[in-house]
Amino acid sequence: MSPDPTAIHARFNPLIKPFLVMKIGFTMACTVVGIPLAIVWFLGVGRWWAQHYFDRLECQLGERHIRFRKGILVTTEKTIPLENIQDVTFVEGPILRHFHLSTLKFETAGHSVGQASDMHLTGIIDAQAFRAQIMQAREALRHPPSSGSEKDEQMIVLRAIEAKLGEIADLLRARP
């Protein structure tokens, strides 16, 4: 990812490594063909893979988008514009809680019901705070603060309206 000095970089919990080793290993062990692979996986290949996977995890929140990158052999980089984010769901089940992890699921505009979420981020440290930062950045993008000159112009118009209303009120009081 290109360095962005204004971006907020998410940090990932190192406990995602044993979580991934267990998750993938048990998935392998559930199939007859995968049992020998699961043995090799649990004997060290899984830990090696999880360490390299963890080292390449990146997530940054910019002014207009959120970017996530993962992968070892096949690198996946996903960028979601903040204005397209409809919801960020916080998920924390018993297994994730055991590893002190949680998942953020992003749903974007154009997302159909029944499809998987557009992006899942598992293992972000203080995911609730990162979710709040994302929602705050999205709202700031949707409702940008007015500049000082715009506020001054609005105040001038409001004062002119107030003066005209005062004149109308004086005219109505002067009527018999």
Strands of 58-61's sheet in order across: 8-9, 58-61, 65-70, 76-81
Unique residue bearing structure tokens 């107030």? 162
CA–CA gap between residue 54 and residue 43 (Å, rounded): 19
Given 3.50.50.60, 3.30.365.10, 1.20.58.100, 2.30.29.30, which CATH number is that of 8-145?
A: 2.30.29.30
Q: What is the pLDDT of residues 101-152, one digit of tens each?
A: 999 998 887 655 555 457 889 999 999 999 999 999 888 888 776 666 777 8
pTM equals 0.70
